[in-house]
Amino acid sequence: MRNKLIAGNWKMHGSRVANEAWVRALQAEPTLDAVELVVLVPAPYLAQMQQLLGGSACAWGGQDISDQERGAFTGEVAASMLREFGCRYTVAGHSERRQRHGETDVQVAAKAQQALAQDLIPILCLGESLEQREAGKTAQVMRHQLGVLLDILGETGMARSVLAYEPIWAIGTGRSATPAQVQEVHAWLRQQCAEASLDLAENIQILYGGSVKSANAVELMALPDVDGALVGGASLVAQEFLAIARAAAKASQRTE
């Protein structure tokens, strides 16, 4: 059975004082069975997370890495650097990186390769825009995004990765994907993986990343092909993040 994974992406938020308070609130919570927790923080806070979360049940990671191993790339962060700070995860291909920085599917795959070379688990983001969904191009867009990852990473690389479906049209827009829409896309992604490998399809975690909150977490986490969440703004509040994690734990208990 696939464990649930709840990943909190703080984006460009946080401070040393606020971060410590967040971790203290998290540490006061009993360990949740069958749920993995990870917090993805801005790079300047990785040392603090290593100090505060070391030895805890919550992993930490970066929000992005370079597609290069090392070199004259000002402002970039290498996968090996994340590894030095005890990171277990990193994100690649987040919709904001694709939109604001023009990252291509091939670049996302290259970032994943760098992560895997350092034994990091890449959380690989996929998703369509509102215009693409309204034009009926959701499957076309994601077939290409996933196809590039499968071609470059292969079954072995994908088996060491996590997928995250981010419907761009449901992030910060006031629109929400229905549970039926979420399940439909997640099941489709798993079927696409099955065409490459049944083992891969059975075991790969597919997270949902479209404005997940405690208010909708119970319903979303109960969907059969949703293996957790990539949580944005709600992850900044420890109790909100924990409420989502509890919903995931309850969903896991129901499927045992």
- Give whole-number Cα distances, 124 to 74, 230, 235, 239, in Å: 24, 11, 19, 26
According to DSSP, residue 27 is labeled H
What is the Cα Rg of the chain in Å?
17
The residue length of the chain stands at 256
Q: CA–CA separation, 205 vs 160, rounded Å?
A: 10
Which one of 94, 103, 186, 240 is the catalytic residue? 94
The full DSSP string for 82-149 is HHHTT--EEEES-HHHHHHH---HHHHHHHHHHHHHTT-EEEEEE---HHHHHTT-HHHHHHHHHHHH
Catalytic, out of 36, 103, 166, 240: 166
Instruction: State the Cα–Cα distance between residues 74 and 44, nearest whole angstrom.
Output: 15
| Residue 101 a catalytic site member | no
Cα–Cα distance between 169 and 95 in angstroms, integer?
10
Look up 144 and say whether it is catalytic: no
Which residue stretches of the chain are H helix? Answer: 16-27, 46-53, 79-84, 95-101, 105-117, 130-134, 138-159, 179-196, 198-203, 214-221, 238-255
Catalytic residues, by residue number, are 94, 166
